[in-house]
Structure 1
Amino acid sequence: MSDGLVVENVSFSYGSRQALSDVGFHVERGRFCALLGPNGAGKSTLFGLLTGLFTTPSGTIRIAGHDMRRTPRSALAALGVVFQQPAVDLHLSVERNLRYYAALHGIAGREANQRIAEALERLGMAERAGEKVSALNGGHRRRMEIARALLHGPAILLLDEPTVGLDAATRQSITNHIHALATEQGLTVLWATHLVDEVRDDDRLVVLHRGAVRADGEAGAVRGERTIGDAFLSLTEGPMS
């Protein structure tokens, strides 16, 4: 468990508004965990805490065995992150974007070349290395961001609504790829979404609603005889997106 993701008794408020209330769950190494919740459930706030954008006065977050409060640099070094809003330089090529990110992690020269080539190959982006990001469609930009997040060899990959705005075929392709990374390379994945069709029965599933965990377990067990969509509707007592 120590080399996975641990969230225990985490709460957070924006002034008088409670965004998260005593949130806790564990994701074992090599598991794909879907963090499912409607818009406004607290998913992005939780990601802000996991990535050090916010700090919480209560609870514990451990990333690959590193306590976020005690050893934040080690914890953050073990993370790869794909945020909901793209954060790329549109005027640079795909390769230059990745090279800049590699340099931030102290990766240069031959090692940078090798890691960039391998990451782009994994995502089916090798032939687009020299293209400007501004010329890419939404799906290819997302693939580039995932490649970038994997450059430094993180133990845990966080993705915040990574398929928003993409067509169904591209969403499925990216979801399949991230599942494969978890299964084949032992990568721990936390995939935040409000789209029920991105969740598989053998995924770990955490349902977040109004800042609290409403369900936590294997998705097939959580849904029971219902569809994931019906189970989600029942747990969140509101319309699905």
Structure 2
Amino acid sequence: MSLGLPDPEAASGDTNGEISAALEVASVSHSYGKRKALDNVSFRVRPASFCVLLGLNGAGKTTLFSLVTRLYAAQRGTLRIFGFDVNHAPGEALRRLGVVFQARTLDLDLTLQQNLSYHAALHGMPARETQRRAEEVLGQIGLLGRANDKARTLSGGQIRRVEIARALLHRPRMLLLDEPTVGLDVKARADILKHVRSLVAGTNIGVLWATHLIDEIEPPDDAILLHEGKILDRGKASEIAARAGVQDIGAAFKKLTGIEGEGTSWDQS
């Protein structure tokens, strides 16, 4: 049940000169009052890989992302980004991280350039570097010509692409995306997914892509199945299906969660 990496409980950091994990989550638990949102969650995301965190709405995906980004402090367990502990070395950890949250976060009354410049200032980037990087990332998503347009003039898919570009502005080595295609049409969803997969291939960035949509997972993908705050299985999507004795990851998720019936949020239809 591994992603082809050392055991999640093992120490993080350099091993023979190589970083063992882009993201390591070890024995993490978190509760809201009496409700346990995460229960002893452990996994690793390999550097330069695309990993899918699959779970229904309310499974704990957003809570996990909030802990990784230090919006909340983990009540139990350890989180490391390229070997740096999120709680003990937050500056070193978080500067290696780019984040796209589920909720839209662009300021709609600012231009694309202004949105990117504000983000760059938060990371202490100098003005000349900000301008160069903004042109580069906007060019990569085909929106360089709209740098001076207000964000509210963009479509939903374009806004999401700008949010991804903004997350990459400071050249992180790990990218978190929380339900990045929610509310988008089929073509926009496919375009966003294709773009992020191309980032992994072209820039060697590590990606953790959280979703409840089965059709965003391909058989060779690393996958983590999260349900009611617990990990049900992890590994290649095809291997998870094989272990469950079914043909695909959707059927495996249905079998492992015990969910029956039509119209569930994970159903591809």
C-alpha distance in structure 1 between counterparts of 2:132 and 2:33, whole Å: 47
Taking the TM superposition and a 5 Å limit, the aligned residue runs for 1:78-117 are 78-117=96-135
Q: 1 CA distance for matches of 2:233 and 2:145?
A: 42
Q: Find the counterpart in structure 2 of residue 120 from structure 1.
A: 138
Tell me by how many angstroms 1:25 deviates. 0.4
Indicate if the aligned counterparts of 2:21 and 2:45 stay in contact, CA closer than 8 A: no
Q: What TM-score, normalized by structure 2, do the two folds share?
A: 0.87
2:256 corresponds to which of 227, 235, 239: 235
One-letter amino acid of the structure 1 residue matched with residue 92 of structure 2: S
Q: Deviations over 1:161-212 (max 9, x none)?
A: 0000001111111101111111221100000000011111111100000000
Give the C-alpha shift of residue 110 in structure 1: 2.0
Q: Distance in 1 between matches of 2:210 and 2:87?
A: 23
Whether 1:63 aligns to 2:87 is no
| Aligned equivalents of 2:56, 2:197: Cα separation in 1 | 22
| Aligned residue in 2 for 1:28 | 46
Instruction: Assess if the C-alpha contact under 8 Å between 2:21 and 2:44 holds in 1.
Output: no
1:161 paired with 2:211, answer no
In 1, the alpha carbon distance for the partners of 2:204 and 2:41 equals 25
| From 234, 237, 246, the counterpart of 1:219 | 237
CA distance in 1, matches of 2:256, 2:147: 44
**Which residue is 2:16 aligned to?**
none
Note the C-alpha offset of 1:227: 2.2
Q: Secondary structure at the match of 2:132?
A: helix
Residue 201 of structure 1 is matched in structure 2 by 219
Change (3 A) 1:130 1:81: same
Instruction: Identify the range of structure 1 (213-222 vs 227-236) with the bigger mean alpha-carbon deviation.
Output: 227-236
Alpha-carbon distance, 1:38 to partner: 0.4
1:125–1:143 Cα contact (<8 Å) kept: no
Deviations 1:37-80 (A, max 9, x none): 00110001101101001112321111011111211121111110
**1:51 maps onto 2:69 in alignment:** yes
Question: 1:18 aligned to 36, 46, 57, which one?
Answer: 36
Who is 1:178 aligned against? 196
Displacement over 4 Å in runs of 4+: none
Q: Give the total of aligned pairs.
A: 241
Shift of 1:7: 0.5
Aligned partners of 1:191, 1:106: CA distance in 2, in Å? 27
Q: TM-score, normalised by structure 1?
A: 0.97
**Structure 1 gaps, min length 5:** none
| Match status 1:190 vs 2:211 | no
Deviation at 1:14, TM superposition (A): 0.4
Gapped runs of 5+ residues in structure 2?
1-18
Give 1:131-142 correspondences, 5 Å limit. 131-142=149-160
Q: What residue number does 2:91 align with?
A: 73
- 1:41 maps onto 2:62 in alignment: no
- Cα distance in 2, alignment partners of residues 43 and 3 from structure 1: 19
Mean CA deviation greater in 99-108 or 78-87: 99-108
Residues 226-235 or 202-211, more deviating: 226-235
Query: What is the rounded CA distance, in whole Å, between the counterparts of 1:35 and 1:124 in structure 2?
Result: 28
Identity of aligned residues (%): 48
1:113-164 deviations in Å (ceiling 9; x for gaps): 1100111111222122121111111000000000000000011100000000
